[in-house]
Amino acid sequence: MLDDILGKTELRERIEDLEERNEDLQRQLDAESQRRVDAVTARQEAQREVNRLQDRVTELEDRVERLQSGERRLDFRREETLRGERLDVVLSRLDSFETGEEGALSAYVADGSLPAPVSDAFGERAALVSRVSPCYVFVDDAGMCSVALEPPIAPEPFVTWDEEFRVDRSTFQPQGEYTLALIRSDLFAMGVYRGRERVAFHGFDSDLGRNHSKGGFSQARFERLRDERIDDHLERCRVALQERTTDRLYVVGERTVLDEVDEDADVTATVDATGDPEPALGDAFRDFWTTTLYAI
């Protein structure tokens, strides 16, 4: 009661309230300090990422500037045409290449737009990959192997890092049973093959006549008859292709006529093979199953 009279009780209660408020304020201060520490850490991480990206942008800008100014002309170290046994030797070397975990990059680039792993792996020489795409590319992390190959048959685009290169020989070399047809506006030749061996042949040509030089109606009539003969010839080609005995079909020849008959073809390609049907097909076979190697 004396404490009440002297006001001590009220003072004690006020002191307790002030101590509780002080503890609350201290907890708020500690939480705010932690938030500031987290904010500083996040800001530092963000700044490091900004710096890294700025360095990358500067690097790319410098590369573009060098290329535009002609300061350094990028070119392939070597080019080689591969077919037959020589192609088999090169593919075997790629097959046998081994390195550490994720030390070998294999990719198929379908167009000039390079996947980031390919661009990073080749650096400033990635422009050479764009130049020859669509193509396979093979490069290891030590730069001992760095090549691009143009296959006759395009696979689905892919990119992979592994301990060895990923080489699909069926896109480079003839395997199994298939039909190869050579079509020109004046020639048709078709062969059935098992691997590299031809087991059947069918061919014919079309006499389109010689161009007239008289002009006028005579020239116009000649052009009309020539177009009609080409149409008849292409119709014979379509019928012959429908009578083939294999599922796989590769059609080569003149681009202008390939567009008219390639509906069922697995692959089409332009070749310059001319002459009589049977030897022309042999030339077309060699041209089609040819790969160009670029050392990058």
Could you tell me which residues come within 8 angstroms of residue 82 by beta carbon, excluding any fewer than 6 positions away?
Answer: 90, 149, 290, 291, 292, 293
Residue among 74, 80, 127 at smallest CA distance from 293:
80
For the whole model, what pTM was predicted? Answer: 0.69
Q: Fill in the amino acid letter for 289.
A: W
The residue among 264 and 86 whose pLDDT is bigger is 86
Where along the chain do its domains lie?
2-69, 78-171, 177-287
Report the top-level CATH class of 177-287. Answer: alpha beta
What three-state secondary structure class fits 250? strand
Strand 267-270 vs strand 249-253: parallel, antiparallel, or unpaired?
Answer: parallel
Q: Model confidence over 129-179: pLDDT tens digits?
A: 999 999 999 999 998 999 999 999 999 999 999 999 999 999 999 999 999
For residue 146, list its beta bridge partners: 139
Q: Model confidence over 168-186: pLDDT tens digits?
A: 999 999 999 999 999 999 9
**Are the CB atoms for 149 and 166 separated by under 8 Å?**
no
